[in-house]
Every structure is written in C-alpha cells, then in structure tokens.
Amino acid sequence: MKPIKIGLLGLGTVGTGVVRIVEGHQEDLQSQVGSPIMIEKVLVQNKSKSRNIAISQEKLTEDPWEIIRDPEIDVIVEVMGGIAHTKEYMLEALSRGKHIVTANKDLMAMHGPEILAKAEQYRCDVFYEASVAGGIPIIRTLVEGFSSDRITKIMGIVNGTTNYILTKMSQEGASYEDVLKEAQELGYAEADPTSDVEGLDAARKMTILSSLGFRSNVDLEDVSTEGISSVSKEDILYAKRLGYELKLLGIADRQDDLISVSVQPTMVKETHPIASVNGVFNAVYVYGEAVGETMFYGAGAGELPTATSIVADVVAVAKNLRLGVNGQQSSLIYKEKKLKTDEQISSKYFLLLHVADRAGVLARITQVFADYEVSLESVLQQPNPTNPDAEIIIITHDANKAALGKVIAMFESLDVVNKVKSVYRVEG
C-alpha cells in the first residue's frame, strides 16, 4: 500500500511526541490503517539546532511553503501555534487537497468555521482533538459518542496551570503569588501567564466544546470569562469550611435551545467528582438527556498525551483516505445560536462581605436580597481576628445573574457594607 505522508509543522514538545509515536508505533498504526504512515517533512526554526530525538536532516526545513506545496504530502500536522500565519498555511494546504490535523485551540476557536468551510469546499478532513484537554478524547466523544443524545451541560477543568495553582493553594494554604511563581519555575505556567490565569485559554477551549456539544457556532466573545488572579487564601479557606473546593470551571449550559457559556472560579461541592481533580489534570463532565452524567479525566497537556490525540486524528484521516470519504462528514454546526440573557442564567452563588460590626446590619443585608427576590440557602458570620470588620458569608439558592448583579451594586452603595470581598458561582 502507498504510504501516507505527513508534513509536520513544528518540532517542539508536542511535535517531538508525534515523531516518537509515529516511528515507535508503526506496526500498530499499519495494522489499523493498512499502509505505512511516514513523516516526510518537518518545519523547524533552526535546522542546525541539536535535538533530543534522532531525525534525518534531509527531512527538516525552515520554509513552511516547502511542506504546504509538496504534492507528495497527504496530511499537514500543525503543532507550531500562532494564528495569522498559521491560518494562511492551513487555508492554502486545504486548497491543495491536503488534510489537516491541528492542536491549535486559538486558531480553531477564532477561525474554526472558516477553516471547516474551506475543508468542506475541497473535500478535506480537519481534525483537532488535541486542541482541548490534551490526551482526553473529548472532541471525538462529543461528535460521535453523543451523536444520538442531546447534551444539556458541559462542565470542565480544561486548564492545567490554573488547576495546579488552585490545588496547591487548597492543599498547602499557599498564596496565589507564591504558587504562580512555583508553577513558572516548574514550566507549568508561562513567563507571561495571562492567557491561563485570566481564563482566556479555558474560554477558547469552551468555545470549541460548546460549539460541538450544542451544534451551534459559539464565538469567543460569547463566553463570559473571569480568571483566578483575585482568588485569595481566605476564599479557599472559607470554601473548604463549607465543604467546597474552588476550581476554575468552564460551564456551557443549554435549556430550551438557549445557551450560556462561561469560565470562572467556581465553588464545587467536595462530594462532586470534579472537585477531586487535582494538579495539572483536566476533566470534562458532560450531561446528556439520555445517558445522564459522564466524566472524562486525564492528562490535559504534555508531549505524549497530546501527541496521542494528534496521531489518533491522523489515523482517522488515513482510514477515510482508504474508504475515499474524506471531507464527507456531515456538518456539525447546524443550529441557530440563541444566547441566554442574564435574566435567564441561573445558579447558586457564594458571597463574602466585610461589613460594619454593629446591630441591624444583617437585617439590612437580607432585605436587599429580598428586594431583588434572591432567596438565601445559608448565612454565616465568621470571626476573623485579622479583620476589624464583621465577615458575613452567604450562599444563595438558584438566582438569576441579573438579579445578583443588582444585589451586588446595591451592596457597593450601602453604608454598612465596607467591601464585597468575593462572589463565586456554586456548583454540585
């Protein structure tokens, strides 16, 4: 059988993993595909750089167009990142009939519809399993495993850096700043950690998951996003006292064809399975009308976990090539997008208030909730010897986001409330 030839754009951590798996698992891959899979050309920044993997110098190039325009190459595997130039390469490759496998969440979150439309035009495959949650096969599961079900909610830890930080803060009582510095030293966080800690990375992944899960074209601008940089040791301590863990969650919810997608620090009941997902691991919880609750857990990044997802996509392309059905998958996005308003988004909330320590304050606070029809599940006043103010902890029953926003605005203008210290969504 004619070998399937790969053009690999990028030979960093993940690209190296792809080479290791393709070359090391050749017998297994051939048994599945029926023909050899070969890495024909590899794009690198510097051909003369020393590498921790043996690869022929003849296969290396510093010119991406040498790969894109090579008529012998069947599949482009893109693991170099970036958006503008990468999009240009992908569109040109598709116009030349090449199939695409990518790990680029930023590209797919921002330009996925355009790239997929181009692929449909030229009857090419575009697979991007590795763009979300590394080695967890969540995209294929949403597309194929839930094809006969109707997904109502997707809730996940999809960023390992923030989960590592929050886990260390919870288990060791460390501060956000100290753990972030440690994460940077260990290589879990970038020198500029903004994309991770402000929730942008997770928001891009939730754009992809919610679009596939709800079959609607969700844009990055549709995702309400808040990061973890304002989470304090005090917040985590109070969460633990109340039986919760604090996690950065992506939450996509659908009800009566109305959807909402958000990323925010969330208090999760400690008995919920996702509360026990620690360190750099990822987990995605999917609710289906028929199947009920399912959870997918595993390594969210790393050389071999991510490369495993990429090579699995290459195998899918190769099988389609043998059958002659590339680019014939039915459209995954066919529903009109209808976003919930703030009045239609509902959940429980946790609030920590610093208030004047005098009689009648609690009555005034509870009256504000009553005025905006937000009912309370529990109210707790905690002594804090380091704070001269009284500290009041409140957990609401389900309340709509608009009403809660009005409550918070009222508190900020109330003379007895010195500070609205923290507000978190509550799940589980």
pLDDT of residue 54: 87
Instruction: Answer yes or no: is pLDDT of 155 > 80.
Output: yes
Quick one: angle between helices 160-172 and 176-186, nearest 10?
130
pLDDT of residue 367: 96
Would you call 428 helix, strand, or coil by DSSP?
A: coil
Could you tell me where in the chain the CATH 3.40.50.720 domains are found? 4-135+303-323
The tally of CA atoms less than 13 A away on the side-chain side of residue 28 is: 9
What phi and psi, each to the nearest 5 degrees, are found at residue 380?
-140, 130
pLDDT one-digit tens code per residue, 182-202? 999 988 888 999 999 999 999
The average pLDDT across 22-44 equals: 93
pLDDT of residue 384: 73
Query: DSSP secondary-structure letter at 145?
Result: I
pLDDT one-digit tens code per residue, 245-287? 999 999 999 999 999 999 999 999 999 999 999 999 999 999 9
Least confident of 40-49, 123-132, 365-374, 379-388: 379-388
pLDDT of residue 389: 85
4-135+303-323 topology per CATH? Rossmann fold (3.40.50)
Helix, strand and coil percent figures for the chain, each rounded to 5:
40, 25, 35
Could you tell me where in the chain the CATH 3.30.70.260 domains are found? 346-427
The average pLDDT across 124-141 equals: 93
Would you call 249 helix, strand, or coil by DSSP?
A: strand
Instruction: Say what the pTM is.
Output: 0.92
Would you call 206 helix, strand, or coil by DSSP?
A: helix
Task: Find out whether 68 and 7 touch, Cβ atoms under 8 Å.
Answer: yes
CA separation (Å) from 118 to 5, 93, 394? 21, 10, 51
The average pLDDT across 110-118 equals: 93
* Alpha-carbon gap, residue 395 to 275, rounded angstroms: 18
Q: Which CATH architecture has domain 139-299?
A: 2-Layer Sandwich (3.30)
Task: Find out whether 350 and 422 touch, Cβ atoms under 8 Å.
Answer: yes
CA separation (Å) from 241 to 280, 352, 419? 24, 13, 21
Mean pLDDT of the chain: 94
Spatial neighbors of 359 by CB under 8 A, at least 6 apart, are none
pLDDT one-digit tens code per residue, 299-312? 888 888 999 999 99
Look at the block and give the residue holding tokens 């920044």.
45
Torsion of CA 282, 285, 291, 292, to 10 degrees: 150
pLDDT one-digit tens code per residue, 341-386? 999 999 999 999 999 988 889 999 999 999 999 999 999 887 777 7
Strand 37-43 versus strand 244-255 pairing type: unpaired
Which pair of tokens denotes residue 116? 């997929």
The percentage of the chain sitting over the pLDDT mark of 90, rounded to a whole number, equals 84
Taking residue 171's Cβ as centre, other Cβ atoms within 10 Å add up to 11
pLDDT of residue 330: 59
Taking residue 114's Cβ as centre, other Cβ atoms within 10 Å add up to 12
The average pLDDT across 157-181 equals: 95
- The maximal CA–CA distance of the chain, rounded, in angstroms, is 84
pLDDT of residue 331: 66
346-427 topology per CATH? Alpha-Beta Plaits (3.30.70)
Query: DSSP secondary-structure letter at 156?
Result: E
Instruction: Answer yes or no: is pLDDT of 422 > 70.
Output: yes
Across the beta sheet with 75-78, the strand order is 60-61, 37-43, 4-9, 75-78, 99-102, 126-127
Taking residue 49's Cβ as centre, other Cβ atoms within 10 Å add up to 9
CA separation (Å) from 409 to 42, 129, 196, 295? 55, 42, 28, 37
Least confident of 12-16, 97-101, 384-388: 384-388
Instruction: Answer yes or no: is pLDDT of 332 > 80.
Output: no
Could you tell me where in the chain the CATH 3.30.360.10 domains are found? 139-299
pLDDT of residue 203: 97
Smallest Cα–Cα separation from 254: which of 287, 282, 224? 287
Amino acid at 11: L
pLDDT of residue 285: 96
Spatial neighbors of 406 by CB under 8 A, at least 6 apart, are 372
**Is 205 annotated as catalytic?**
yes
Write the DSSP assignment of 61-93 as a string of letters.
Answer: ES-HHHHHT-TT--EEEE-S--SHHHHHHHHHH
Task: Find out whether 164 and 280 touch, Cβ atoms under 8 Å.
Answer: yes
Smallest Cα–Cα separation from 246: which of 226, 267, 231? 267
Task: Find out whether 375 and 340 touch, Cβ atoms under 8 Å.
Answer: no
Active-site residue (options: 205, 247, 401, 421)? 205
Q: Which helix (H) or strand (E) holds 161?
A: helix 160-172
